[in-house]
Amino acid sequence: MILSMLSNRRSTLLRAVLVGVALVVWLGIGSVGGMAQGKLSQVQTNDASAFLPSSAESTRAAEESKGFVDTETLPALVVLQPADGSEVTPDQLAAVQDWAEAFPDEALPPGNEGTWSDYLVGEVAVVPSQDGEAILVAYSLDGASSEELLADEEGVTDSFVLALRESLESELGATATSAGELGLQAWVTGPAGFVADLVTAFGGIDGVLLLVALGAVLLILVLVYRSPFLPFVVILTAVFALCLAGLVVYNLAANGTLVLNGQSQGILSILVVGASVDYALLLVARYREELAHVEHPAEAMKRALRACVEPIAASAGTVIAGVLCLLLSDLGSNRSLGPVAAIGIASALLGALTLLPALLLVFGKRSRILFWPRAPRPVPVVAHEADHAHVDTTVEPDPADGTGLWPRLARFVGRKARPVWIVTALALAVGAAFLPTLNASGTNQVDIFLTDVDAVAGEEVLAEHFPAGSVQPAIVIVDEADVDAVTTAAEGVDGVESVTPYTGAPAGVEGDTAAVVVVDGRVRLDVATTASADTQDAVATVEELRTAVHGASPTALVGGAAAETLDTNLASERDLRVIVPVVLLVIGVILMFLLRSVVAAGLLLAANVLSFAAALGVSAIVFNHVLGFAGADPVVPLFAFVFLVALGVDYSIFLMTRVREESLKIGTRAGVVRGLAVTGGVITSAGVVLAVTFAALGVIPLLFLAQIAFIVAFGVLLDTLVVRSLLVPALVHDLGRRTWWPSALSRHQEHGLHKVAPDLE
């Protein structure tokens, strides 16, 4: 007895030490990682051209184009027009001229030395429109110095545009919504204006997005647990996991190991919160179940971890493997999301398996208090006399015999397995039939914002009064001997306004009387298009331009903003063709090893692909006919596929690992009924949590994130409520033991059916 007491004391001390160490380590991670999470926006790169592969034609054209200019520039365009729609007066033009020349001499924001002229290249250009109804003021930001950061930790581009808008209002009284004494309205647009407005939109990722996601999840957890303590334990786990992910990603991005953009940062936050809570729900549910069987919480946690580590680790491994397939992408933005998302999922896994158990056991024997007022207690068992010996055996209540929603649904699926899976499969197929109607060929830049922004409104005014394509012309780099042939070919393309050899003067602003610049026997041609460079019409024009130019000179290169968009679209379409099969193969292999079955793995993959197709088909209907979106980027289907298939398989893994566990005891068909009855509530809660967290992306007013938010949120709910609750269990029940082929379980006779659901016989 003394030895037993000493052993118990050693075990108690060891548990206390492990819990203490886990809490101290995670507190340290939180203190450092919290600061890193807040600084992630400082290491973002949101320039689309930075993500293109070096082999892309626009990238090669950009590299050669650098030889023609001393400094790469980023245009910031101010467009002004009389508020009453009249022509610009000489007094208005003179006032704008004076303001435009004086602005570069304004001091930088407090804490910085110098003036804005330190970041500008060339002279300011003030150009009245040919119709006399608008004025264009063009500034050229130094492309290299605009990458620096000011002391206020805002990017130069963002701060410069903000300073322009403030100066316009204070000096001229001109804004987009009001006109001062001069009677002028003003907008800041162009590439710099769009970058600044994107930075503003992504600024909500650090605060608003997280608050909305965590607040919604907390509300759901309160409803699930009906406890004032347990939801905060789960939320704390998610927050600390996010700190760990932020710490790792920040240091990797700051050192140039990976590229982080605003989209990746938003998805990282959502993935970590959603995955952390999902894993926590599964572990806590099993922990609560075990608390009803044993007296000490530590023993219950040991049993829960033993049962949950495999499915949780397999779930995390599946998602990590899926997102890492993005490393095969030609686009740097897609490649960067792979490791960023993988780091997030790994952080969620570590938090769920180390921090969460420590928090749940922090009160030792009294840890049940965290479940108050519904703290589970050991359930008395019923004693029965054995048939052939006077030995008492114990029989615990069977969860599949209950009267709750999930036991009743499980028994219904067991009774009507074949009709259930046929009807649900047909319903999903109907939704999938609308998949081809999803317009994912690209969008105009003005369509990416879901709220009114200055850059978009200014772009519309600019296009109305000035040659739209002259602001960012397409660039053709060609051998000097082929200039005439290429010029003739380019001028014959529909949508081309003019073709001008580069002389060093800004196209469309000053004359071109200077000598043509020749670098290593190559000449640069600026091709002004009818459509603005940030529209899909300009992209189509550039695609035709490439065909015509290559016919005249095979060595010619076509670049520029529209060409970069074209190459991005082509790379995205290629990624979809390459990455989707690889994701399916990788996840299929993981499922085979986890479930020890080829049939089960194939069944789960097929069900999730059908679910994905249905989610995308329904999304196409919503986007086209309800929300009226102009289209979608080609990367949207790829991201939706990776997240929906990888995350959707999660819930099937949670279900099927429990079904397999029960099948080893009572047979496959009975195991399906019991497995669905036991896991239904917790998996549905996890699905709702993940759907809500992804839906929170919708608070960022950008088209891409809104579309990803809807597709993934709807797809997760579809997968949770239909595929995992009806389709998969019905198929497995109908197949019976054949589900586990070729493992030994496929050869076991069904048994114990009467114990679970006598009405199935």
Please name every residue paired with 524 in a beta bridge, in sequence order, or none if there are none. 477
439/473 same-domain check: no
Q: In the chain, how long is the greatest CA-to-CA distance?
A: 111
Class of residue 752 by CB neighbours under 10 A (exposed 0-12, middle 13-18, buried 19+): middle
Does the pLDDT of residue 548 top 90, yes or no? yes
Whether 79 contacts 471, CB under 8 Å: no
pLDDT reported for residue 696? 84
| Rounded-to-integer distance, Cα 367 and Cα 313, Å | 25
Q: What confidence tens digit (pLDDT) does each residue in 446-498 have?
A: 788 888 888 888 888 888 888 767 778 889 999 989 989 999 999 999 988 88
DSSP-assigned states of every residue in 369-436: GGGTTS---PPPPEEEE-SSSS-EEEEPPPGGG--SHHHHHHHHHHHTHHHHHHHHHHHHHHHHTTGG
The answer to whether residue 736 is domain-embedded is: yes
Whether 450 contacts 704, CB under 8 Å: no
Q: 70 versus 24: which is more confidently predicted?
A: 24
Q: What are phi and psi of 129, to 5 degrees?
A: -75, 160
pLDDT reported for residue 556? 92
Using the Cα atoms of residue 592, residue 597, residue 599 and residue 603 in order, give the sign of their dihedral: negative
CATH number for the domain spanning 708: value is 1.20.1640.10
The answer to whether residue 57 is domain-embedded is: no
Residue ending a domain, among 534, 566, 598, is 566
Does the pLDDT of residue 362 top 80, yes or no? yes
Q: Which of 479-483, 531-535, 610-614, 673-677 has the lowest mean pLDDT?
A: 531-535
Does the pLDDT of residue 159 top 50, yes or no? yes
215/313 same-domain check: yes
Does the pLDDT of residue 428 top 60, yes or no? yes
471/602 same-domain check: no
CATH number for the domain spanning 94: value is 3.30.70
Q: What are phi and psi of 149, to 5 degrees?
A: -120, 140
pLDDT reported for residue 155? 57
Class of residue 628 by CB neighbours under 10 A (exposed 0-12, middle 13-18, buried 19+): exposed
Please name every residue paired with 79 in a beta bridge, in sequence order, or none if there are none. 136, 187
The answer to whether residue 64 is domain-embedded is: no
Rounded to an integer, the average pLDDT of 300-311 is 87
| Rounded-to-integer distance, Cα 541 and Cα 366, Å | 71
pLDDT reported for residue 508? 44
224/346 same-domain check: yes
Residue indicated by tokens 């992209």: 539
The answer to whether residue 4 is domain-embedded is: yes
277/252 same-domain check: yes
DSSP-assigned states of every residue in 65-108: HGGG-SS-EEEEEEEEEETTS-PPPHHHHHHHHHHHHHGGGSBP
The answer to whether residue 482 is domain-embedded is: yes
Residue indicated by tokens 């158990």: 357
pTM: 0.81
Whether 408 contacts 676, CB under 8 Å: no
The pLDDT-based confidence of 50 (bands split at 50, 70, 90) is low
Tokens of 418: 């074949």
pLDDT reported for residue 619? 93
Cα–Cα–Cα angle for 390, 391, 396, nearest 5°?
135
The pLDDT-based confidence of 122 (bands split at 50, 70, 90) is confident
Class of residue 431 by CB neighbours under 10 A (exposed 0-12, middle 13-18, buried 19+): buried
284/383 same-domain check: yes
| Rounded-to-integer distance, Cα 505 and Cα 401, Å | 82
Whether 218 contacts 11, CB under 8 Å: no
pLDDT reported for residue 260? 80
Q: Which of 91-95, 262-266, 662-666 has the lowest mean pLDDT?
A: 262-266
Q: What confidence tens digit (pLDDT) does each residue in 698-741 have?
A: 888 888 888 998 999 999 999 888 998 999 999 999 988 888 98
2/135 same-domain check: no
| Rounded-to-integer distance, Cα 395 and Cα 403, Å | 19
pLDDT reported for residue 710? 92
425/487 same-domain check: no
Total structural domains within the chain = 4
Does the pLDDT of residue 267 top 90, yes or no? no
Q: What confidence tens digit (pLDDT) does each residue in 616-653 have?
A: 999 999 998 888 888 888 888 888 888 888 877 878 88
The answer to whether residue 62 is domain-embedded is: no
Q: What confidence tens digit (pLDDT) does each residue in 277-287 have?
A: 889 888 988 88
Does the pLDDT of residue 598 top 50, yes or no? yes
The answer to whether residue 451 is domain-embedded is: no
The pLDDT-based confidence of 544 (bands split at 50, 70, 90) is very high
Residue range of the domain that includes 374? 1-38+206-396
Average pLDDT of the chain, as a whole number: 82
541/594 same-domain check: no
- Give the contacts of 720 (CB within 8 A, at least 6 positions apart): 651, 683, 684, 686, 687, 688, 691
589/677 same-domain check: yes
364/388 same-domain check: yes
Residue ending a domain, among 532, 566, 600, is 566
The answer to whether residue 47 is domain-embedded is: no
| Residue % of the chain over a pLDDT of 90 | 20
561/632 same-domain check: no
Residue ending a domain, among 566, 597, 630, is 566
Residue indicated by tokens 């179940």: 289
